[in-house]
Structure 1
Amino acid sequence: MAHTAPEAGFLKNGKLKTALLQHRPLSASGMSERLFGLLFSGLVYPQIWEDPDVDMEAMDLSEGQSIVTIGSGGCNMLAYLSRAPRSIDVVDLNPHHIALNRLKLKAFETLPGHADVVRFLSAEGTGVNGKAFDRFIAPGLDPVTRAYWEKRNIKGQRRVSVFDRNIYRTGLLGRFIAVGHLLARMHGVDLTEMTQARSLREQRQFFETKIAPLFDRPVIRWITSRKSSLFGLGIPPQQYDELASVAAEGSIAPVLRQRLEKLACHFPLRDNYFAWQAFARRYPRPEEGSLPTYLRAEHYRAIRENAGNVIVHHATFTELLSHKTAGSVDRYVLLDAQDWMNDRQLNDLWAEITRTASSKARVIFRTAAEKSVIEGRLSPAIREQWNYLEERSTALNLQDRSAIYGGFHIYERTA
């Protein structure tokens, strides 16, 4: 597929507009959708917020399989390469994510060693990553992606210079987390102190005494009663409605408290890099904890060797599948994209999934609320061809360290 210039905003991004806009422009819902679209047209996720270890267990991922996945921040696509799949097709509607995915792949292919990859993709304040980009990465990039990272801002800084600082403090999500820290400080809480906890008991104590009371503060309940409050998490209006469906009193503050409690208290900090991003706005140092799966030394060689098996597309999931031959795909990773979809879009997607699925193919996805969004919405002719692995889904949802979703779901092609 041809490279697409990653500079088009929401108004020019026809693919994103088609996926998101479902109401009249001057209606309350329509204006909310358009505001979200404008925010979503920039870089949203410097890091993907779905647990790749859970994904790979759910997919029963093994060597030689073909995968179609949504790109987001690109971390999980790279983690899947550790299992040596035959191919991975990455799709995303956000051109900034396209550029980030291609950059991360090329970093693995061209940087001299594992330590260089870790420094480029996870370290902060290095001051040398821009030089590494020029020497090793840039010559191997396609012209559009190279131009994206070399573009200068009003201060004269190249985009790629963010890797000399801390890319995880940028993007819509990075700014949202920064606002969360600011709100907490305004109420006398320093969220970075969570990283000083040395046990699950200390983590829970900090959460119960410092974090949980914040959700009862009037200003926070007022903020979270508005759909736009969660746009910084990449949660569109439709997905907010899903969250609100399990909330009470007109505010989703209790739901957010529950999700943050899982993030803060259910997994040791050493093993949960998602918590480090939330509370410290960075990854842990070697003495503090583990890096994301794709940056661990034991997976480096496999990822480097298989990086050439990935193609990154600026396309919708349905659009890409429409060009695939029947029975050619083994695993599908939808993230939470279906929370955005109306019934027509959902059925169009699953018609293509069903057509392209190999025998025993698996589909995995997450949802804002607990229930699966496809139940009662797919046509019977499509739904009867898929088996819902409900018990396995529930068990793996409990293991998802990112903790921000209500449900995790696995469907397997019937024989």
Structure 2
Amino acid sequence: MSDATTISQQLGAAVHQNGVMNSTGVLERLFSHLFHGLVYPQIWEDPVVDMAALNLAPDEDLFCIASGGCNAMSYLTARPASVTAVDLSPAHVALLRLKAAAAQHLPDQAAFFEFFGQADRQDNVEAYDRYLAPHLDAQTRAYWEGRVLGRRRIAMFARGFYRYGALGRFIGVVHMIARLGGVNFTPLLKAQSLAAQRQFFDSQIAPLFEARAVKFLARRRAALFGLGIPPAQFDKLARDGGGDILPVLRERTRKLICDFPIAENYFAWQAFGRRYGGAGTALPPYLEPAQFDTVAHHAHCISVQNRPMTEVLTRRASGSLDCYVLLDAQDWMTDAQLNALWEQITRTARPGARVIYRTGGAPDILPGRVETSLLNRWRYDQAGSEAGFARDRSAIYGGFHLRRHEG
């Protein structure tokens, strides 16, 4: 069986909950097809919140989903013993392996920042050929040197990497709609206070949600594929809005714009500026200049696998992990998949282990779905969950959840 066939089957198992003759089933298959390519050039969860909620300590062992790789790389600033990252997208695996190699083999912090902080310089392609390609495994090298429309994929880092992938294209469409609505994001990016940011939202953004075209697009499930929202998660989001997703999207956009200083929120910079704010400001932790030496020193601790979470965990020794970061993957899962996952999480957890996860809707999705005898071994940290949700600058999720292993 080919690798491509295996990946298709794994993606299908993760996303397909309806038959192919069902309209939702067709959308699920379109969504899973996206994950054969690049979806997230940047992950959309806040690693600062993650590390605080987990109280991630030096020499601990962490398990996470790779996605765009920003979080796995940022966790290195806490000096863990190991980071095991998994993902069903070959593109995400190749991206994180590239980042880990770059931290170890690019000549200095400036070159590393130019590659991933600016991601739009021809020098990056030359740096790849000179410093990185010789240190990559054959599969990763084949991905970045494969050609799309006549150019090697690595050329994305000379042309504005964060404009690529499903998320990059989605943000591009948002900017097009904003321009048609007469919105210029420059004043927002220059705002000096939360009051100015709120005024911008009220005067410029809120009216867009009343536009007929925006209402029509937002209510189409396929329109949000670029945010990595499959049909099942779309429905959970809509439930938070009384069956209508539009007020949910409006509130989360308001939080992104209004609740955090723009100078400190790199998610807002990517959404509205299509770039990072600059060296030392509005950056994910792994790109902060002061963290480069720590990230470079610990980059060898990252292991990246193109396999499902539960399969990777079954191969781990019992009692071998301290922390788990599940992103929002459980929103996609059936009850059987959730129980299989939590059986392995519980088996591999050390005493005092912590698990964090996000949900598209506000409620915790595990009670009533994961066996009570299994879930009771994990205490739900209400205060930690609420604090994590309030502080998450990405503002895209309805819930942040923290559970602690009770043995």
In the superposition, the TM-score normalised over structure 2's length comes to 0.97
Matches within 5 A, 1:304-319: 304-319=296-311
- C-alpha displacement of 1:127: 1.8
Matches within 5 A, 1:285-364: 285-286=278-279, 289-364=281-356
Matches within 5 A, 1:49-64: 49-64=44-59
Secondary structure, aligned partner of 1:284: coil
CA distance in 1 between counterparts of 2:353 and 2:309 reads 16
On the 8 A contact 1:40/1:172 being kept in 2, the answer is: no
CA distance in 2 between counterparts of 1:277 and 1:84 reads 27
Paired position in structure 1 for 2:262: 269
State yes or no: 1:201 paired with 2:186: no
- C-alpha displacement of 1:124: 4.5
Matches within 5 A, 1:156-235: 156-235=150-229
- C-alpha displacement of 1:35: 1.5
Amino acid of the structure 2 residue aligned with 1:58: A
Amino acid of the structure 2 residue aligned with 1:197: A
On the 8 A contact 2:279/2:288 being kept in 1, the answer is: no
CA distance in 1 between counterparts of 2:21 and 2:316 reads 38
- C-alpha displacement of 1:196: 2.3
Paired position in structure 1 for 2:120: 125
- C-alpha displacement of 1:179: 0.4
Paired position in structure 1 for 2:383: 391
Select between 62-71 and 375-384 the one with higher mean Cα deviation: 375-384
Unaligned runs of 5+ in 2: none
- C-alpha displacement of 1:14: 1.4
- C-alpha displacement of 1:12: 5.7
On the 8 A contact 2:120/2:161 being kept in 1, the answer is: no
CA distance in 2 between counterparts of 1:41 and 1:261 reads 32
CA distance in 2 between counterparts of 1:173 and 1:126 reads 21
- C-alpha displacement of 1:22: 1.2
Taking only aligned residues, the RMSD between alpha carbons, in angstroms, comes to: 1.5
Secondary structure, aligned partner of 1:254: helix
Paired position in structure 2 for 1:77: 72
Change (3 A) 1:85 1:235: same
Amino acid of the structure 1 residue aligned with 2:143: Y
Q: CA deviation digits over 1:345-400, x for unaligned, max 9?
A: 10110011011111010000001111111122110110110100011110121000
Q: CA deviation digits over 1:245-289, x for unaligned, max 9?
A: 1113x53111011001111011111100000000011111248x3
Amino acid of the structure 1 residue aligned with 2:257: A
CA distance in 2 between counterparts of 1:132 and 1:303 reads 19
Paired position in structure 2 for 1:107: 102
CA distance in 1 between counterparts of 2:34 and 2:142 reads 22
On the 8 A contact 2:87/2:307 being kept in 1, the answer is: yes
On the 8 A contact 2:120/2:156 being kept in 1, the answer is: no
Select between 354-363 and 181-190 the one with higher mean Cα deviation: 181-190
Secondary structure, aligned partner of 1:245: helix
Secondary structure, aligned partner of 1:291: coil
Select between 125-134 and 404-413 the one with higher mean Cα deviation: 125-134
Paired position in structure 2 for 1:372: 364
Secondary structure, aligned partner of 2:151: coil
How many residues are matched? 406
Secondary structure, aligned partner of 1:13: helix
On the 8 A contact 1:368/1:407 being kept in 2, the answer is: yes
State yes or no: 1:43 paired with 2:24: no
